[in-house]
Each structure stands twice: as C-alpha cells, then as structure tokens.
C-alpha cells in the first residue's frame, strides 16, 4: 500500500508539473500573440499618423502659400492692373475658404467622436436644400464639363432633418462625385421612398469606382484611397465619414455601392417627417461604422 501510495504521489506530481508547464506555455503563447497584435496595431497607427500628417501638411501649406504670395504682391503693389488685383483677391478668398472648410471638417469630426455634435430636426422640403447644393457645386462641375442631373420630384414628401446638416451631407457627396469624376463625365441625383419610414437620396457618378477595401478606407476618418505620390485630388478624407456620421445622427444611414471602372453610388437614408416609427439617432455615429 505504501509503495502504491508513493507511486501514485509521484505520478500525480508529474501530472501537476506537466499541467503547470503546459499552462505556462499557453500563457506565453497568448502573450506572444497579444504582443504581435499590439505591434501590428502600433505600426498601422504610425503609418496612418504619418499619412495624415503628410496630407494635412499639403492641405494647409498649399492655400497658405497662395494667401501669403498673392497678399504680398497686393501689399507691395507689385501688381497694379485692376483686373489682376481682382483676380488675385479672388485667389486669396478661395484659399481662405478652403482652409476654413478644412478646419470646420476637423472640428466636426472631433465633436462627433466626443458625442457633442447634435442635430435640430424639423420638417424639410428636399428640393429647397438640394437646389442650393447643386448651385454651390455647379461651378466646379462646369470646369470639368461634367453634366449634373437631378431626377427628384417636388412631390417628394417632407423629411425630418436639420437643414444645415442635410446641406452639409449633400454638398460633401456632390463635391466628392464631381472631384473624382473625369472630364465629360456625369453625376446624377435621385430621391425616392423605398420604405415606409425613409427617403433615399442617391448621388451616382461615372468615376473610377472603388473596391471593397478602398470603400473601407474612404469611410474611415482621414482615410484616402489615393495617398502619397499617387494622390491626384485635394482633400483630407473627411467628406464621407462626416456625411455618414451626420446621416446616423438623423437616425438614418449611408450606403455605398461601387464598381471599379464603372462608378460609385452613395445613398443616404433620411427619416420621413410622417414616419410613425421615429428612428433613434446613433449616440456615437462614427463608431457604428467601425
């Protein structure tokens, strides 16, 4: 009995030792995996930070150089031709407006991420807001000979929206469509009621289109499909994320359908003013996409 007891004790000790070593090995493996994941996250964060700084430096430096250069020429009276004075003054104004839009975009993202941006909802006629947005983006479209078509009816029912923020959404979508559509392309705006509670407003372009990973990049704050030396268009990558967040704050949504080489359709869903089931706005609209 004693021999058996000692043998069993030794066997139990071996099992206990094995279990302890095995558990230690599992913990080490988990720590190694967690460390590698943290390393990858840190590298991705560092890359995103570097790209963001590079993009922001370009976006800030270009209009600032224009403002400094043209204002210096006007201040020193290097240019006295009245037509040139007016032209350079317009350049300064355009550069200043670009900087203001850039700063406003960054502030909006900060407010959204902090949960401090709100919308004041009221019954809104889409036609009135859309006409203003089309007028604002018309000049840029004409520069590229892009045909902008609106296929919306005045009979579209009233929607429940913040007029200022709805205008911001539509201008972002229209500006993006015009920016990425090549010369002689087309941009189309449609509005229709596809469900009992929402109006769907779609902006379709004949641009280069995006793949699924590129859509994911475009939907992340400061994310840009084109970056570095391949970047051909101005922008900070805030247009789509802000439009998405604002749509969510309205209790709606933003959806993207895109095909490489064909074009992109971006649709927003905004609740109808007559909706019986009023959707609740997202508390943290940017995180709902992540």
Q: Please give the pLDDT value at position 42.
A: 67
Q: Please give the pLDDT value at position 233.
A: 52
Residues of the chain below pLDDT 50: 1, 8, 227-231, 290
Q: Please give the pLDDT value at position 147.
A: 93
Q: Please give the pLDDT value at position 28.
A: 74
Q: Please give the pLDDT value at position 223.
A: 59
Q: Report the run of H or E that residue 82 belongs to, with start and end.
A: helix 82-113
Determine how many CB atoms are found less than 10 A away from the CB of residue 48.
14
Q: Please give the pLDDT value at position 31.
A: 76
Q: Name the CA dihedral angle for 58, 59, 63, 66, rounded to a multiple of 10 degrees.
A: 10
Does the global pTM surpass 0.85?
no
Q: Please give the pLDDT value at position 230.
A: 46
> Domains along the chain?
1-117 (1.10.287.130), 122-271 (3.30.565.10)
Q: What is the rounded distance in angstroms from the CA atom of residue 170 to the CA atom of residue 133? A: 7
Which residues make Cβ contacts (< 8 Å) with residue 64, sequence separation at least 6?
Answer: 95, 99
DSSP 120-179: --EEE-HHHHHHHHHHHHHHHHHHTT-EEEEE--TTSPPEEE-HHHHHHHHHHHHHHHHH
What are the Cα distances from residue 11, in Å, to 5, 15, 278, 283?
Answer: 10, 6, 68, 58
């Amino acid at each position: 009995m004693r021999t058996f007891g000692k043998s069993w004790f030794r066997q139990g000790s071996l099992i206990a030792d094995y279990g302890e070593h095995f558990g230690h090995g599992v913990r080490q493996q988990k720590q190694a995996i967690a460390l590698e994941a943290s390393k990858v996250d840190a590298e991705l964060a560092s890359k995103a930070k570097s790209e963001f700084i590079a993009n922001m430096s370009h976006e800030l430096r270009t209009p600032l150089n224009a403002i400094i250069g043209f204002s210096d020429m006007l201040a020193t009276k290097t240019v006295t031709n009245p037509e040139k004075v007016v032209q350079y003054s317009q350049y300064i104004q355009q550069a200043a407006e670009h900087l203001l839009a850039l700063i406003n975009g960054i502030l909006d993202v900060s407010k959204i991420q902090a949960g401090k941006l709100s919308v004041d909802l009221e019954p809104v006629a889409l036609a009135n807001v859309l006409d203003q947005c089309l007028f604002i983006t018309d000049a840029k479209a004409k520069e590229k000979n892009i045909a902008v078509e609106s296929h919306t009816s005045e009979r579209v029912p009233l929607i429940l929206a913040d007029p200022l923020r709805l205008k911001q959404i539509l201008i972002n979508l229209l500006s993006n469509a015009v920016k990425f559509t090549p010369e002689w392309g087309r941009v189309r705006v449609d509005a229709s009621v596809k469900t009992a509670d929402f109006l769907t407003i779609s902006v379709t372009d004949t641009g280069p289109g995006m793949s699924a990973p590129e859509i994911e990049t475009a939907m992340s704050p400061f994310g840009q499909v084109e970056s570095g030396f391949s970047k051909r268009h101005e922008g900070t990558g805030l247009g789509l994320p802000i439009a998405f967040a604002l749509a969510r704050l309205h209790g709606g949504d933003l959806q993207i359908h895109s095909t490489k080489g064909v074009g992109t359709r971006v649709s927003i869903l905004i609740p109808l003013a007559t909706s019986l089931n009023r959707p609740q706005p997202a508390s943290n609209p940017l995180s709902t996409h992540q």
